Amino acid sequence: DLILHNGEFIREEDLVISKEDRGYQFGDGIYEVIRVYDGNLFTAKEHIDRFYESADKIKIVIPYTKDVFHKMMYDFVEMNNIDNGQVYVQITRGAAERQHQFPTGATPVITGNTKTVERPVASMQSGVTAKFIEDIRWLRCDIKSLNLLGNVLAKQEAYEEGYFEAILHRGETVTEGCSSNMYGFKNGTLYTHPANNLILNGITRRVILELCKELEIPVEETAFTKTQALKMDEFFMSSTTTEVMPIVKIGDQQIGDGTPGELTRKLQKAFEARIQVGIKL
């Protein structure tokens, strides 16, 4: 498979990245992951909009129009014959002698790759487990930054203890997962953290909120506590690769009857119906 480098598709062994690249030294860049179903980029526009918004928030200018960039992503997937998989793409502020302030004259560097990824069907059916971990990240989690140490350390702790994901919390308040958004159902209402600076507003999250509207499921974009999380009737997480993923156990405590809940399954079905209708550029 070819990789993306500044608008060109090249062989991986031909990629040259400077040791002075600010992505490498500072994590000074942002990224995006777009899902591919049956060769179509799912919610590509939303992902591309968020890519441009994240770049804008850290004052990196992407040197393409969104239309050109969209076509580039589409060509990338087609060229590598990705049927079901994902595109990863990132942009850094570029290479310059190391100094914290923005360098003058650095050119942003875009790299990306595609890969085949199957839907995690077995986990979606059985549900997964998660554990609470304190959210020690910075206060701009709305930016899809390459700086992921807070996420990485929490995921590693969860992984080492056999959990699929960490449920991050600031004090008592649940924010999101290391690489996912978090939701609970209580008495038929869906609760999830509001899309502010403390979470990444997931594209999957946006689709889920739309589906709730269609299904007439009430939604409260209101933060809930760890204690409330444990008392939810159903719990689940979402992301581009895990879709609607039931969480059936938090720590050693079972949620509901310890199997994926009815409303969660309803959302999974509605989501599945939605991903059949990917639109080609």
- Residue in 200, 217, 232, 263 binding ligand PMP, rule: CB under 6 A: 200
175 binds ligand PMP (CB under 6 A): no
Between helix 203-215 and helix 262-275 the angle, nearest 10°, is 110
204 binds ligand PMP (CB under 6 A): yes
Q: How many CB atoms lie within 10 A of CB 65?
A: 10
- Residue in 167, 203, 212, 229 binding ligand PMP, rule: CB under 6 A: 203
184 binds ligand PMP (CB under 6 A): no
Residue closest to ligand PMP (Cβ): 202
Q: Please state the length of the chain.
A: 281
Cα separation, 10 vs 19, in Å, equals 20
In the complex, minimum distance from the CB of residue 16 to ligand PMP, in angstroms, rounded to a whole number: 28
Going by C-alpha positions, the residue among 225, 247, 227 that lies closest to residue 236 is 247
The tokens for 61 are: 């200018």
Of residues 148 through 167, those in contact with ligand PMP by CB under 6 A are: 151
The tokens for 46 are: 């939303």
Cα separation, 267 vs 281, in Å, equals 27
Order of strands, edge to edge, in the sheet holding 8-10?
8-10, 3-5, 109-116, 85-92, 29-37, 40-41
145 binds ligand PMP (CB under 6 A): no
For ligand PMP, which stretch binds (CB under 6 A), given 1-9, 108-116, 178-186, 249-257?
178-186
In the complex, minimum distance from the CB of residue 9 to ligand PMP, in angstroms, rounded to a whole number: 24
Cα separation, 100 vs 98, in Å, equals 7
Going by C-alpha positions, the residue among 6, 43, 26 that lies closest to residue 100 is 26
Rank residues 21 and 176 by Cβ distance to ligand PMP and give the closer one.
Answer: 176
For ligand PMP, which stretch binds (CB under 6 A), given 10-18, 173-181, 186-194, 267-275?
173-181
Rank residues 140 and 231 by Cβ distance to ligand PMP and give the closer one.
Answer: 140
For 33, which DSSP code? E
CA 97 to chain centre: 31
How many residues sit close enough to ligand PMP to count as binding (CB under 6 A)?
Answer: 14
- Residue in 80, 114, 179, 264 binding ligand PMP, rule: CB under 6 A: 179
Rank residues 90 and 180 by Cβ distance to ligand PMP and give the closer one.
Answer: 180
Going by C-alpha positions, the residue among 145, 171, 149, 269 that lies closest to residue 224 is 171
Of residues 28 through 87, those in contact with ligand PMP by CB under 6 A are: 33
Cα separation, 56 vs 36, in Å, equals 25
- Residue in 239, 244, 267, 270 binding ligand PMP, rule: CB under 6 A: 239
The tokens for 109 are: 């560097």
Q: Indicate which residues carry an active-site annotation.
A: 144
181 binds ligand PMP (CB under 6 A): yes
Please report, as ranges, the residues that interact with ligand PMP according to CB under 6 A: 33, 151, 176, 179-181, 200, 202-205, 238-240
